[in-house]
Amino acid sequence: MRRQRMPEREAMSARPPSASAHAGWLAQPAWAVRFVDNSYFYANRDGKNPAAWGLEIGIRYRGVDHFGAASRPGTGVPTGFAVPPCSLTDFNAKRCPKIPVSIAYQVVVCKNGAWVQPPGDVDTVFQFDGEKGLNNTNPSFQYKLSGLQNLKPTPCMVDVTATPEPGIVKFGQIHASGNGFSPAVPRRPFSLALTRKCSIAVRIDGYFETSQTVHNGLLVPQSDSNFGIGIEDRNGNAIAFNQQFVLTQMPGNVSFQNVVLDAVLKSFGAPKIGPFSGTATIRLFIY
């Protein structure tokens, strides 16, 4: 598995804490339901300019970060969901079908440029709406982000180096045995060396991002591999791909930590014999 050496980032802090090295603020997954026709994330419906505050506010959807979406028709982020057409008669009679769907998304806030205290505490990040753009008469679901005036830039850098360098974990020869491996769960350690270049206490979260298929928490090298690659901490707890997790805490008097993890192989059938590979990128979030 390949790990990338991360560049230094500038973090942000707030009370309550909501900051990050890669993203200044990352919301927990949220859900919304009930749409009419093709639905989109329409961003910045109030026409504010977060760039003037030194911020970028975007949407993470299906593993992709979207910045620069707008509120005009054709400028939104498609959700991939739609409902059948409904006649004006049925609409007025409130007989249009309401199709329940679930959409998981996250809001991402990044520091970008010179920091200026936001003039307001609340920003409408986006509104869900249909093909023709924003519905102002009966507004659809809106996501409003509050606490902007609690954000505070912190000049803190964290450098990370994955070992063995250049971030490649080699399993070597692995023996297949029936529907599994011998040993049952082959594992190889790797580490993330973290060097903090400030004196404040921070929490560092990680995010192993991959575009490859993930099955039952395992990165699958090929569709017919019958096994997957997993990541575990030193206590044997699985770390999910494409999900944020707490990597470590660094007190103010600690400037270096070496976090050791394990790459593991787990089978779900007779393993395919031959070379294999998988790739994931580690993102860091500093709070």
Residue 4 has pLDDT above 50, yes or no: no
CA 252 to chain centroid: 27
- Residues 25, 31, 37, 39, Cα dihedral to 10°: 10
Whether the model clears a pTM of 0.85, i.e. scores above it, the answer is no
Domain ranges of the chain: 25-150, 158-286
279: its two tokens? 């790739």
Q: What is the DSSP letter of 38?
A: S
CB 212 within 8 A of CB 251: no
Residues in Cβ contact with 118 at an 8 Å cutoff, skipping those fewer than 6 apart: 50, 53, 55, 148, 149, 151
Residue 18 has pLDDT above 80, yes or no: no
Q: Helix, strand, or coil here: 211?
A: coil
What percentage of the chain has pLDDT greater than the value 70?
Answer: 86
Q: Give the best-scoring range by mean pLDDT among 49-53, 132-136, 151-155.
A: 49-53
**CA–CA separation, 60 vs 64, rounded Å?**
5
Q: Give the best-scoring range by mean pLDDT among 26-40, 94-108, 203-217.
A: 203-217
Q: Which residue has the tokens 């639905």?
A: 39
Sorting pLDDT into bands at 50, 70 and 90, what band is 26?
low
Helix (H) or strand (E) holding 258: strand 256-267
**CA–CA separation, 200 vs 2, rounded Å?**
30
86: its two tokens? 């409904």
Evaluate the CA torsion angle 214, 219, 222, 228 in order and state its sign.
negative
**What pLDDT is stored for residue 22 in this prediction?**
38
Tell me the average pLDDT of the chain: 82
207: its two tokens? 């995010």
Average pLDDT over residues 71-85: 83
| Largest pairwise CA distance in the chain | 69
Q: Which architecture, in CATH terms, is 158-286? A: Sandwich (2.60)
Residue 122 has pLDDT above 50, yes or no: yes
